[in-house]
Structures are given as C-alpha cells and as structure tokens.
Amino acid sequence: MTTTAERIPVLQPLSTGIEIPGHGRGSRPGYLPATPRTVLWGRLPCADDSPVLSINAGESLWIDTVSHEGILEDQGRDPVTFFGGHGVPSSDVLHDAVRVAAEVPRDPLGDGPHVVTGPIEIRGARVGDVLTITVLDLELRTGYGIVSNRHGRGALPVEFPVGGSLDPVSILCTVDAPVWPSGGASVGGSRTNGASGTGAFPSVASGAVLTGSIAAGPGDRRRVRFPLRPFLGTMGVAVAGTERAHSVPPGPRTLWGETEELLIPIGLDVDLGEAMRQATRGAIALLTDAGMDPTHAYAYLSAAGDFAVSQVVDRVSGVHGKIRKADLVELLEEPGVGAWAPSCPATGRRRGGLRSTPRRRATATRQVTRGHIVLRDKTSHGNEIGERYAIAIASGSVKVRTGG
C-alpha cells in the first residue's frame, strides 16, 4: 500500500458539500456519484442494463469511481475496519465505498473484483457510430491506494506470490513516485489514456457508452494485479457522425485513442503476440487512412513507431502504439477540417486534421536524410510524385527498396 494522506485531502461524494472544480460547493450539475444504484460490482454493463444517466453528445460530467480494495471478501468486506487496521482514520474512508461493500451483491466465485460506475447513455448514438471520449480532468479522492499481487493473475502468476501463499499480507508504507492515471471506457478495456486523452470506440449498443473504472500507475507499467484507485474524473463524450467520421479506419474491432501529440492504436487479445499484431494493423489503418501507402506505413512503424504493453493483468492482454502527430505534419490540413487533430472536449469538433489523400500502389525508394523521410512514389499511372513526411529519426542516409 502507498499513502500520501498528509498531502491529499479526502474527496468524499459531492453530496457532502465538497467543492469540485468547475462547480459550486454542493452543486450537482453534470455529476454521477458512485452509489449502490449507479455501480456494478464484478461485471461490465451489457446491452440489457438500463442506463443510470443520459447525456447528449458534446456534454461533459464528473464521475465518481471507487476502488474494490478494502471491500473484497478476503479483506473483510469492511473498508473502515480494513483501512483502520493500517492507520487510516474512518473519516478518510470513502462513504460510497462503505455503502457499496454493504449493499451491492457480489458472487466471489463468479464475479470479478472491479466496481464500475454506469452505464451512461449517449442520446442519439447508434450501433456503428464512433464515440470519442475525452478524459478532461482527474482528481485523486484519497491519499492512499493499494497495489496487490493476488488471484493467480498478473505477468508472473505462478512465480508470485512467492511460494504460492494465499494468505493476505498487507504492508503500509509511504512512497514518493510519479503517478499517471488512466481511464477505461466502452469496449476500450484496460487502456492508458489519462487526462487530456481521447479514445475513439465503435458503439456496440444503441445509445450506450460503458464507463467507470479509473486507475493510476507509473506510466505503461501495468504488471501487478491491481493498480492504485480511486479517482473522481470528468469526461466529455461526442458522437462522430458521418460528416466527422469519414476517416475512421474500417472494421468494428479497430480501437484507437489520441492525445494532443499522439495517435494511439490499441490491440487486445488473450495472446500478447496477437494483441501486438492487432495494434500494428490498427496503426497501419490509421496511417493509410491519412493517405500513406500501407507498405510505407509498415516501414514507418519499423523506423519510428513505438509500441508498449498496456497491461498483462487480466486474461486479455493489451498493447498500444504511439504515433507522433508531428511525424505527419506534412499531411495536416488547414484548421477546421479533417479527422486527426486535437479534439475540442466540450463539442467533439476538430481543430484540424490529416488529409485523406488517394492511396497508391507504388514501388518506392526510401531515403532517410537529416531526420526526414522522402518518399518518391511511382504510381500505377507512371507519374512520379515526391512527398515529405517529417519524421524525427536519427540522421544518416538509408535506402530501402519496398514494393507496394
């Protein structure tokens, strides 16, 4: 366990009068608390679950989330007693966590551990629409959190806990380490978008986006069973209609996110290698949709792409890529047009984007000089075209013969 309670005030539910940035003290507009009525424990929402809140595309709201740590059966299902045994005063235990532990049913043999707030309905969203979800802000609700290694999960479930011990062991300590929060939404699963990050997801149920569980950890390093929780976050949601989704990569399983600097293709599978392949295919789809030849996109990813393991916590592993938007600066259009520019959180409208240039069959010679790649494509019509992609890579001159 890690605690910084002396520096971070406890942020109880808004109904207690705690002031939330952007709202008056005790006010409740655009706010979804975590209560026994608004959470699910141990499972994700499905199409048969009624939404606990409905909002319009372009609106934002604050969402409370709570941790399962301290309320699970092997911890006594009593967070006041559990955390009190480690020196946390009862006033610092979240009231909503106490209520969830006491009132929400859970089958420890069949249900998972996580508490999920929602689902939230996006009015007008249809199956096949693309939902863009931006995490606008995140606030820690407590000054303590838990990292646990248990349940036969994680990267090395056979080797840890050491000796295969099933007896709970809790250690309270103070640590000083950077923390990057991440939020999960819709079919995104465990992902790495933090504050100011945007995720784009295919809508799999009319009017519904599934949200709720926000975690924190040191960047891409999601290895141990449970990261730190809980948070209060604010999230903006927009439905990308046909006029704004013309450059969405095809395929219902294509997942991606974006920040101000990055495009983030996502791969999810029980096999980590297949998750990597999915993320790579998604990255190629993003680049080819922006007008790059698939062969060039594949070569670009080899030269300047960056992929990382998102998580190996659950049965489904995750891999995400990082494509720097600055690398594609020569494809940027004028502000106000296109598909891949930073989002306006409140409306989902774009401030610029990548041109959807015609895709070409080509045989290309790639020359790398002074941090730039110059592509000279010979199209099927025999016209030689030169395009420059500003790609930040090492200086030098390398020629690669590629076939399109």
Residues 77-116 pLDDT 10s: 999 999 998 889 999 999 999 999 999 999 998 898 889 8
- In a domain? residue 220: yes
How many angstroms separate the CA atoms of 249 and 246, rounded?
9
Token digits of residue 386? 């030169």
- In a domain? residue 25: yes
- Domain residues for the domain of 326 are 261-403
Which phi and psi (to 5°) does residue 385 adopt?
-125, 135
**Same domain, yes or no, for 64 and 209?**
yes
How many angstroms separate the CA atoms of 241 and 200, rounded?
12
- In a domain? residue 247: no
**Same domain, yes or no, for 326 and 395?**
yes
- In a domain? residue 251: no
For strands 255-258 and 144-145, give the pairing.
unpaired
Q: Which residues of 383-399 are buried (b: 16+ CB within 10 A; e: fewer)?
A: eeeebebebeeeeeeee
For strands 60-64 and 144-145, give the pairing.
unpaired
Higher pLDDT, 202 or 222: 202
How many angstroms separate the CA atoms of 307 and 295, rounded?
18
**Same domain, yes or no, for 101 and 130?**
yes
Strand partners, 264: 257
**Same domain, yes or no, for 111 and 29?**
yes
DSSP label at 151? T
**Same domain, yes or no, for 125 and 182?**
yes
Alpha helices in 214-293 (DSSP H): 272-289
**Same domain, yes or no, for 190 and 146?**
yes
**Same domain, yes or no, for 199 and 333?**
no
pLDDT tier for residue 263 given thresholds of 50, 70 and 90: confident
Look-up of token digits 């030849």: 293
pLDDT tier for residue 205 given thresholds of 50, 70 and 90: low
**Same domain, yes or no, for 174 and 33?**
yes
Q: What is the pLDDT of residue 273?
A: 92
Strand partners, 201: 131
The CATH number that applies at residue 110 is 2.60.120.580
Domain total for the chain? 2
The predicted-structure confidence for 111-162, as pLDDT tens digits, reads as follows: 988 898 888 888 877 776 667 777 777 777 888 888 777 666 677 777 777 7
- In a domain? residue 246: no
Token digits of residue 237? 């949601």
**Same domain, yes or no, for 184 and 60?**
yes
**Same domain, yes or no, for 124 and 182?**
yes
- In a domain? residue 254: no
- In a domain? residue 252: no
- In a domain? residue 48: yes
Strand partners, 350: 343
pLDDT at 390 over 50: no
The pTM is what? Answer: 0.59
pLDDT at 363 over 70: no
pLDDT tier for residue 165 given thresholds of 50, 70 and 90: low
pLDDT at 186 over 90: no
**Same domain, yes or no, for 95 and 160?**
yes
**Same domain, yes or no, for 153 and 299?**
no
**Mean pLDDT (whole number) for 313-335:** 74
